[in-house]
A and B are shown apart, each in its own frame.
Chain A
Amino acid sequence: MKLLKTLITGAALAVGLAGSAFAEDKLKVGFIYIGSTGDFGWSYEHDQGRKAIEAALGDKVETTFVESVPESADSERVMTQMAITGHDIIFATSFNYMDHVLNVAKKFPNVKFEHATGFKRADNVSTYSARFYEGRTVIGHIAGNMTKTNTIGYIASFPIPEVIRGINAAYLAAKAVNPDVKLKIVWVNTWFDPGKEADAATALIAQGADVIMQHTDSAAAMTIAEEKGVFAFGQASDMMQFGPNARLSSIIDNWGPYYVSRVQAALDGKWVSTDTWDGIKPGMVEIGEFSDKIPADVQASATAIKDAIVAGTMHSFTGPINKQDGSVWLAEGETADDGTLAGMDFYVEGINGAFPK
């Protein structure tokens, strides 16, 4: 079925290209998404970034996208098809597209590739990601203050460094304000399955969690939190409409400025392979408006944390921090280096359980 889908999308792409073969001076920009543009989470925000390119650069560019592309050899076929049909720059927006991006990039040295959240680069492959963990520090602080049962539920997708980093950052921030706080983590082994995400939220709430965090792509957990009267945070997108009472704040991915600058660079002939990892300060990570359910003093302290991160006076991972096994990771006052963060494969001390390996 996947193959069939890919063939169909491939054919659709080919047809689309034939129609626009005359507009050769336009720069063609392709996007592949892991989920649907209507997930109101991860893929939705990437698509907002694509629209930002169209809004900013108008006639100079033409953008196309293929959604729900599995992180398998299928993605390689979709990207190959894009390269063959004259795309100049291709954004691959999920972690496990990684090796497939590099394979395709090798075959098409003149096409530029941008891989989100990855770490493998080449002359024509850039990587970019956002420091979502900075956002996790802010919402973790809020969660630690808001939980009455001292139990925060966390719905996690896959045990990749980005997800583990988010768990650690959230836990450290919550623990800093609430020493008794416990983190219950459920791995759902998927980025997008609203039914399963909803079940996970139900399970966590049944076991005493009264604040839910998630690192999956749909708004299902927010809906369940709203129904059960507990708190949750918007993930990737604001998700306000799914939980007007439940939503405390959100981490919003804002890819637009980066996408526009990269496509502009390609237009100017100044595109070079780079690695970008931006946080709250450049605006790649935004913190959604605070709900008025958060007491004023907590709002103030959360804002202070956000401002300190922006000012560079605070880092999400500042020692002393021990690893889960009790060994020292960061000494007093020491901050984590990007290399360790990028490959983070351990929980910090205080988190129970083990992540799947």
Chain B
Amino acid sequence: MDLSNISPIALIASLMIAATPILIAAIGELVVEKSGVLNLGVEGMMIIGAITGFIAAVETGSPWIGFIAGMAGGAAIALIFGVLTQFLLTNQVATGLALTLFGLGMASLIGHSYAGIKPPRFTKLDIAGLSDLPVVGKLLFSHDPMIYISLLIIAAVWFFLKRTRQGLILRAIGENHDAAHALGYKVIRIRLIAIAFGGAMAGLGGSYLSLVRVPQWTEGMTAGAGWIALAIVVFSAWKPWRVILGAYLFGGITVLQLNLQAAGATIPVAYLSMAPYVVTIIVLVIMSADSKRASLNAPACLGRIFHASN
């Protein structure tokens, strides 16, 4: 094994690219869950975002419009879930699963004529002077803009949940929707907004996948990324900053194991492939060891149906 072949800087750059789709999807789902709604349809929303973003980017030639369309697509399909669960009071778990199946099928259908097309290139940041700095330039100033935006989104969500009145209301609804309702807050309206935001983020993550990470459209290309995003929300104990930790850890181990293999590591591949999942499980176990703290973090009304007459 020749570890000197692995360049830490290249490794960090590729782990960020691998982690960003799940990072963005996870932060959206975090907000949804903070409002007390469990939407298991992240995978379906991501793939819808991947194809709507891809189509818009190809048709207009602008990746930025692609990202916006990806958000719109993800939010639109999330609102189907919102209407079903908030107005028709369907079971959230079943509806979320159905949303995943629906999204995968729907994306294949609308993406049929877009396989094999190249999306417009999304250029990396190149700040004169800064990006050329040795090491630091490569490490901090040479990624594509969406990576910085994803981190800004995390910061914004943290600020919103922790420091604003609206964030407090959203958390209150997630903790006890009956009490929040009694205080006069519009539980359903706020949850719908949260669901749409979650869908938009999942769609943005999906379009990052089809426009930057792979970049192409292939049916079923999310290949389980939505489920990883769901796991990362739990991993992060519903804390925005920890989503970065979870997503980069997961993406990092995935990329690292591929690099180790290329460098000729003699560790059995099965172990390397399972490593990201094993680490996630270990961290979950460590975190939930203190059961009081873990249960404090989960929104108390998560997945429970709200009806004003209750």
Residues of chain A touching chain B, judged by Cβ–Cβ distance below 8 Å, are 1, 4-5, 8, 35-40, 68, 153, 184-190, 192-196, 198-200, 202-204, 206-209, 218-220, 223-224, 226-227, 241-242, 352-357
Q: For window 207-221 of chain B, which residues contact chain A by CB distance below 8 Å? A: 209, 213-216, 218-221
- B261 contact from A36, A185, A195, Cβ within 8 A: A185
- B258 contact from A186, A219, A355, Cβ within 8 A: A186
Q: Are B213 and A198 in contact (CB under 8 A)?
A: yes
Instruction: Kindly state the separation between the CA atoms of A189 and B251 in the bound complex, as whole angstroms.
Output: 16
Contact stretch, chosen from B25-33, B109-117, B133-141, B176-184: B109-117
The answer to whether A204 and B262 touch (CB under 8 A), given A192-B223, A198-B213, is yes
Decide if B97 is an interface residue (CB 8 Å cutoff). Answer: yes
| Given A38-B111, A198-B213, 5 further pairs, Cβ under 8 A | A38-B108, A188-B273, A199-B258, A206-B262, A223-B118
Decide if B145 is an interface residue (CB 8 Å cutoff). Answer: no
Residues of chain B touching chain A, judged by Cβ–Cβ distance below 8 Å, are 5-7, 10-11, 14, 17-18, 21, 97, 100-101, 108, 111-112, 115-118, 209, 213-216, 218-225, 254-255, 258-259, 261-266, 268-270, 273
Chain A nearest Cβ from B225, distance in angstroms: 7
The answer to whether A198 and B223 touch (CB under 8 A), given A1-B100, A184-B264, A189-B270, is no
Instruction: Kindly state the separation between the CA atoms of A78 and B226 in the bound complex, as whole angstroms.
Output: 26
Interfacial chain A residues near B111, Cβ < 8 Å: 38
The answer to whether A220 and B269 touch (CB under 8 A), given A36-B220, A203-B262, is no
The answer to whether A4 and B221 touch (CB under 8 A), given A203-B255, A356-B270, is no
- The listed residue with most A CB atoms (<10 A of its CB), out of B10, B219, B223, is B219
- B259 contact from A39, A68, A206, A226, Cβ within 8 A: A206
Interfacial chain A residues near B112, Cβ < 8 Å: 38
- A207 contact from B18, B21, B117, B259, Cβ within 8 A: B259
Interfacial chain B residues near A219, Cβ < 8 Å: 116, 216, 218
| Complex A-B: 6 CB contacts under 8 Å | A39-B220, A40-B115, A68-B220, A189-B273, A194-B223, A223-B118
Chain B nearest Cβ from A46, distance in angstroms: 15
Instruction: Kindly state the separation between the CA atoms of A266 and B145 in the bound complex, as whole angstroms.
Output: 58
Interfacial chain A residues near B268, Cβ < 8 Å: 354, 356-357
- A187 contact from B5, B218, B261, Cβ within 8 A: B261
Interfacial chain B residues near A209, Cβ < 8 Å: 262
The answer to whether A206 and B115 touch (CB under 8 A), given A185-B261, A187-B261, A187-B269, is no
Interfacial chain A residues near B213, Cβ < 8 Å: 195, 198
Of all chain B residues, the one with the shortest Cβ separation from A200 is B258
Q: Are A194 and B218 in contact (CB under 8 A)?
A: yes
Q: Are A199 and B254 in contact (CB under 8 A)?
A: yes
Q: Are B214 and A220 in contact (CB under 8 A)?
A: yes
Instruction: Kindly state the separation between the CA atoms of A5 and B224 in the bound complex, as whole angstroms.
Output: 15
Q: Are A241 and B117 in contact (CB under 8 A)?
A: yes
Q: Are A196 and B223 in contact (CB under 8 A)?
A: yes
Q: Are A223 and B215 in contact (CB under 8 A)?
A: yes
Instruction: Kindly state the separation between the CA atoms of A48 and B86 in the bound complex, as whole angstroms.
Output: 44
Chain A nearest Cβ from B229, distance in angstroms: 13
Q: Are B108 and A36 in contact (CB under 8 A)?
A: yes
Q: Are A206 and B14 in contact (CB under 8 A)?
A: yes
- B14 contact from A1, A5, A203, A355, Cβ within 8 A: A203
- B221 contact from A186, A195, A352, A357, Cβ within 8 A: A195
- The listed residue with most A CB atoms (<10 A of its CB), out of B108, B218, B266, is B218
Q: Are B97 and A153 in contact (CB under 8 A)?
A: no
Instruction: Kindly state the separation between the CA atoms of A189 and B223 in the bound complex, as whole angstroms.
Output: 13
Chain B nearest Cβ from A211, distance in angstroms: 14
Interfacial chain B residues near A192, Cβ < 8 Å: 220, 223
Interfacial chain A residues near B17, Cβ < 8 Å: 202
Interfacial chain B residues near A5, Cβ < 8 Å: 101
Chain A nearest Cβ from B264, distance in angstroms: 5
Q: Are B264 and A353 in contact (CB under 8 A)?
A: yes
Q: Are A188 and B258 in contact (CB under 8 A)?
A: yes
Instruction: Kindly state the separation between the CA atoms of A202 and B70 in the bound complex, as whole angstroms.
Output: 25
